[in-house]
Structure 1
Amino acid sequence: MKAKNGFNLRQVCGENIIVAEGKENIDFSNIISMNESSAFLWKEVQNLPSFTVDDMVRILTDAYDVDEDTARKDAATLASQWGTTGIIEGDDIPVIEESATLSENNSPVFEETPKEEKKEVLKKPSGVIEKENKVSQ
């Protein structure tokens, strides 16, 4: 699988939204909102030349306190959703029945703990350097 060019994650009014940019995506009319964990995963796989569900599982288990079976189920479901919406491409996109892929609010199903608890379970991936965005005034 591979993230399609021109689909970038942006913060819009506090929400993680995939925005289609560029001439090649001019006909893309969907609005894709991602929860914190799926947005984190998107940022990670978008930087890879290609990725598999196994790569997604590794990224999730490295960053979150989640067992491998849960991570695999959620990664496959999320990859299927991304494939259905057209933001990834490849011959290895999992196909999962639509009713099994959506949570109650139609967001990706990787279950998050409330923000207060997340601070304890979210681990910083090794080798990642966070940059501060400073605005000159």
Structure 2
Amino acid sequence: MKLKKGYIMKELAGRYVVLPVGGEPEGFQGMIQMNVTGGFLWECLSEERTKQELIDLFLEKYDASREDAEADVNTFIENLSKAGILEV
């Protein structure tokens, strides 16, 4: 999976915000806010990655249990999928 084209992430006051570029794509409403770990995962998806690769990258970067990393990655993927931002 990877990010669809037409979206950018910006940091605003310690939060990360995803916005559409060049108009609002069909089905996308408003913006998506993320924390630092979401911002990290967003950057990881600038190229094709599997869910397992995201979990492994998360564990390399953050001091977390595998269970917590899997839960965070699953939530992240689910939120971006619902917003129509992921190519799977």
Gaps of 5+ in 1: 91-137
Gaps of 5+ in 2: none
C-alpha RMSD of matched pairs (Å): 1.7
- TM-score under structure 1 length normalisation: 0.57
1:56 aligned partner, one-letter code: L
Which structure exhibits the higher relative contact order, with contacts defined as CA atoms closer than 8 Å and separated by 6 or more residues? 2
Task: Point out 4+ residue stretches in structure 1 off by more than 4 angstroms.
Answer: none
| Alpha-carbon distance change, 53 to 29 in structure 1, aligned in 2, over 3 angstroms | same
Q: Does residue 6 of structure 1 match 2:6?
A: yes
Counterpart for residue 78 of structure 1: 76
2:69 aligned partner, one-letter code: A
1:16-95 mapped onto 2 (5 Å cutoff): 16-22=16-22, 25-27=24-26, 28-46=28-46, 48=47, 50-90=48-88
- Structure with the greater alpha carbon radius of gyration: 1
Task: Give aligned pairs, total.
Answer: 87
Structure with greater strand share of residues? 2
